[in-house]
Structure 1
Amino acid sequence: MSPPHIAVYGATGHTGRLVATGLRDRGRDVILAGRDAGALKALADELGGAPVHQAALDDQDALRELAARASVVIHCAGPFTHTGRPVAEAAAGGGCHYVDHALEQHHTAWMFDAMAEPARRQGITMVTAMSFYGGLGDLLAGTVAAGMTDIERVVTAYAVSGWRLTTGARRTAELLFADTRRITYTDGARHVGYVEPRNAVFPFPPPLGPRTMIAPVPFSEVVTVPRHVAARRVEAQLTAHTFEEEQAFTSEHVDAATRADSDFTVAVQVITGDGGRAGQASGRDLWRMSAVASVEAAVRLADGGGPGPGVYGPAEAFPAEAFLRDLERLGLFTLALPEDR
């Protein structure tokens, strides 16, 4: 019996192509899905043949037909502020497991608030925020904080150079940084409202060293991390120079090899009243890291390795350290974790 099909919605975008190729490399049957039938057919030809499924975001019948054809759908077409709801609802309606690449706080919160009951009712697993931004920080926070108590603060810090935004990523960034109703997590509770950005310094270990950061940045950790780490404050930060690099916003149409030329270190501090722990992951090509993470998640769900019906963040859905170690073995990054966990 052949493995079940895994659908990739937004398959013709940069991340979608990486996901589709990664699934094929794992020997999985893939359905290429999205809005542009011609582009889907061209991608199918590039991959040596694959079924395609055209489905616009406002065509709920077509989206449900996609869910009915697959065991898992990986949603790659941002901004998820606009695209997340119809695909997630169709997956639940069609009884199909779901993984998305969202980093948007409000979409992630909506997934937990609105989709938990439909997912349980349908017996499906929905994993949100399985992305580089937000997702890698969540997995690291779950790993570093394991077994700790009386946690004052969790900080996830992203040092990124050479990030070249796709059209979808640029639109997502514009939406995120224009949002005046940001979600924060302070004093052990979620808050929504205007946040005044500030400059901070994060002490990355050598050879990177301390870096000036934008803090906080509106990533999904403030929603996902408190679900599995009992902390009084959660915050994400991003190196200030990341958006100062000229190519970040002028590189929508570069080739795949150029887009892959990014360097990253994602570090986590878990701070308690009498000390704390830190850990990090360093690698290249944040797009590939994000794509392969979603492939790993989808394959586990397709093979019955999920946590059961419901909505989960990355570190809730899978054992955090084991999942990170599997990604490290695939060459996506190098981990540096505390020994006293």
Structure 2
Amino acid sequence: MKNRIAIYGAYGHTGKFIVSELYRQGYTNLILSGRDQEKLVLLNQEYPDLKIQAASIHDPKTLDDAFSGAEIIINCAGPYLDTAEPIIKSALRLGSHYIDLTAEQKPVLDIFEQFSEQAKNDKILIIPASAFYGGLADLLSTALTHDWNQIDEINVYIGLDSWHPTKGTRLTGDRNHYKRLTFKDNRLQELEASPSQEWDFKSPIGIKEVVALPLSEIITISRHLNVSSVNTYLSQNSLNDLRNDDTPEPKAVDGKNRSSQQFCVDVVATKDNQIRIITAQGQDIYSVTAPLVVEGINRILSGRVKKTGVTTMGEVYDAADFLQTLDEDDIQISAIKESQLN
């Protein structure tokens, strides 16, 4: 049963990318799971040597049966407001590590509150928000400020040339009615209305209007970095696409089934009169989640983690080394640029 990994929501848009990347890297002891048996059967036609087993978040026994023997459970099925708790409880019953992809803030907060003590005592890893939203900004922020014991401010700027949301993204947006939180004056607080601003993402995104839109990275970054303020800004054009009911779903354009979407994430940190910036660029925010998750799995299985319990990507992995090992065809990470504030 060595390196047995269960993927819940394996037939979803991002789940398929993760299954493909695991399989490409030689992981063949996989359990493909989810709520829909018919979709699992269709996926099994692509991977006939892999096990499939349907399970319901409303039936703990079916979850335990599906995940039995798994070293790691990857939850790719949102909304995580509904799926995180029952799957984590199954992971703790079985002694399995847990990873999810949530961009939602409330599930991350709930996971820290509900499961930290038991996960730490049982030496189980629970790593929410291990995706493009949440995990990537956490890794970038941690690498950027690795030698700073105190940080005044971290600003995350996310630029997309377009956003063709999946059904899962839309479903999550409809389900998530909680107020967004930002981190200001050393504490989480409700986001206040603020004017838009412009940010230059450079080529190929260029100058875009950005608006404050805090996601799960606000929670993950503030959990382990000594920072006074954390903000996230998203390009307005991508938000317009997301809010438009007529925007189509992503369409594959290459051999990796990626869409043509281009992204850029700039993370800017300040301390006293110093300013640092690091940039990540690539193609397809859903696709790039797969190498992020699988590199994390490689590190868990090889023992290259800093702690157990409920944690974040930036806290549990060597962030700088993690980013450097990613394939440039998936994501390009810039060198850190440092300057003095005027």
TM-score, normalising length from structure 1?
Answer: 0.91
Q: Tell me: CA distance 1:122–1:243, structure 2 relative to 1, closer, same or farther (3 Å).
A: same
What's the counterpart of residue 319 of structure 1? Answer: 318
Match of 1:232 among 224, 228, 233: 228
| CA–CA distance in structure 2, aligned partners of residues 171 and 274 of structure 1 | 43
Q: Tell me: CA distance 1:275–1:206, structure 2 relative to 1, closer, same or farther (3 Å).
A: farther
Q: Which amino acid aligns with 1:53?
A: Q
Find the residue that maps to 2:287 and give its secondary structure: helix
What's the counterpart of residue 305 of structure 1? Answer: 304
* Mapping of residues 1-341 of structure 1, within 5 Å: 3-28=2-27, 29-176=29-176, 178-179=177-178, 181-191=179-189, 193=190, 195-205=192-202, 208-215=205-212, 217-245=213-241, 249-250=245-246, 255-257=251-253, 260-327=259-326, 329=327, 331-338=329-336
Q: Please state how far the C-alpha of 1:330 moved relative to its aligned partner.
A: 5.1
Q: Give deviations 1:277-315, integer Å, cap 9, x for gaps.
A: 001011111111112211221232233333332011111
Q: Give deviations 1:133-167, integer Å, cap 9, x for gaps.
A: 12111111111111124422100110012321111
Find the residue that maps to 1:325 and give its secondary structure: helix
| CA–CA distance in structure 1, aligned partners of residues 205 and 34 of structure 2 | 40
Instruction: Kindly indicate whether the alpha-carbon contact (under 8 Å) linking 1:124 and 1:308 is maintained by their aligned counterparts in 2.
Output: no
Instruction: Kindly indicate whether the alpha-carbon contact (under 8 Å) linking 1:57 and 1:83 is maintained by their aligned counterparts in 2.
Output: yes
Q: Tell me: CA distance 1:206–1:75, structure 2 relative to 1, closer, same or farther (3 Å).
A: same
| CA–CA distance in structure 2, aligned partners of residues 259 and 162 of structure 1 | 14
| CA–CA distance in structure 1, aligned partners of residues 319 and 122 of structure 2 | 26
Q: Please state how far the C-alpha of 1:90 moved relative to its aligned partner.
A: 1.2
Instruction: Kindly indicate whether the alpha-carbon contact (under 8 Å) linking 1:164 and 1:248 is maintained by their aligned counterparts in 2.
Output: no
| CA–CA distance in structure 1, aligned partners of residues 148 and 97 of structure 2 | 32
Q: Tell me: CA distance 1:212–1:17, structure 2 relative to 1, closer, same or farther (3 Å).
A: same
Instruction: Kindly indicate whether the alpha-carbon contact (under 8 Å) linking 1:138 and 1:225 is maintained by their aligned counterparts in 2.
Output: yes
| CA–CA distance in structure 1, aligned partners of residues 138 and 186 of structure 2 | 17
Instruction: Kindly indicate whether the alpha-carbon contact (under 8 Å) linking 2:154 and 2:267 is maintained by their aligned counterparts in 1.
Output: yes
| CA–CA distance in structure 2, aligned partners of residues 150 and 305 of structure 1 | 25
Find the residue that maps to 1:158 and give its secondary structure: strand
Instruction: Kindly indicate whether the alpha-carbon contact (under 8 Å) linking 1:154 and 1:235 is maintained by their aligned counterparts in 2.
Output: yes
Q: Give deviations 1:108-136, integer Å, cap 9, x for gaps.
A: 11111111112123221111110101211
Instruction: Kindly indicate whether the alpha-carbon contact (under 8 Å) linking 1:260 and 1:286 is maintained by their aligned counterparts in 2.
Output: no
Q: Please state how far the C-alpha of 1:66 moved relative to its aligned partner.
A: 2.8
For structure 2, the residue ranges without an aligned partner over 5 or more in a row are none
Q: Please state how far the C-alpha of 1:335 moved relative to its aligned partner.
A: 1.3
For structure 1, the residue ranges without an aligned partner over 5 or more in a row are none
Q: Please state how far the C-alpha of 1:249 moved relative to its aligned partner.
A: 4.4
Q: Tell me: CA distance 1:289–1:249, structure 2 relative to 1, closer, same or farther (3 Å).
A: farther
Instruction: Kindly indicate whether the alpha-carbon contact (under 8 Å) linking 1:125 and 1:307 is maintained by their aligned counterparts in 2.
Output: no
Instruction: Kindly indicate whether the alpha-carbon contact (under 8 Å) linking 1:154 and 1:234 is maintained by their aligned counterparts in 2.
Output: yes
Instruction: Kindly indicate whether the alpha-carbon contact (under 8 Å) linking 1:106 and 1:183 is maintained by their aligned counterparts in 2.
Output: no
Q: Give deviations 1:57-112, integer Å, cap 9, x for gaps.
A: 10111112233221101110111122211111211121101111011111111111
TM-score, normalising length from structure 2?
Answer: 0.90
Q: Please state how far the C-alpha of 1:201 moved relative to its aligned partner.
A: 2.6
Find the residue that maps to 1:139 and give its secondary structure: helix
| CA–CA distance in structure 1, aligned partners of residues 35 and 328 of structure 2 | 31
Q: Which amino acid aligns with 2:211?
A: I
| CA–CA distance in structure 2, aligned partners of residues 249 and 30 of structure 1 | 35
| CA–CA distance in structure 1, aligned partners of residues 51 and 198 of structure 2 | 49
Instruction: Kindly indicate whether the alpha-carbon contact (under 8 Å) linking 1:182 and 1:195 is maintained by their aligned counterparts in 2.
Output: no
Q: Tell me: CA distance 1:231–1:97, structure 2 relative to 1, closer, same or farther (3 Å).
A: same
How many percent of aligned residue pairs carry the same amino acid? 27
| CA–CA distance in structure 2, aligned partners of residues 69 and 91 of structure 1 | 10
Instruction: Kindly indicate whether the alpha-carbon contact (under 8 Å) linking 1:165 and 1:249 is maintained by their aligned counterparts in 2.
Output: no
| CA–CA distance in structure 1, aligned partners of residues 193 and 337 of structure 2 | 36
Q: Give deviations 1:302-334, integer Å, cap 9, x for gaps.
A: 33333332011111121111111112x352111
Q: Give deviations 1:234-280, integer Å, cap 9, x for gaps.
A: 01110001122489744565544486221000000001221210010
| CA–CA distance in structure 2, aligned partners of residues 319 and 250 of structure 1 | 41
| CA–CA distance in structure 1, aligned partners of residues 142 and 79 of structure 2 | 26
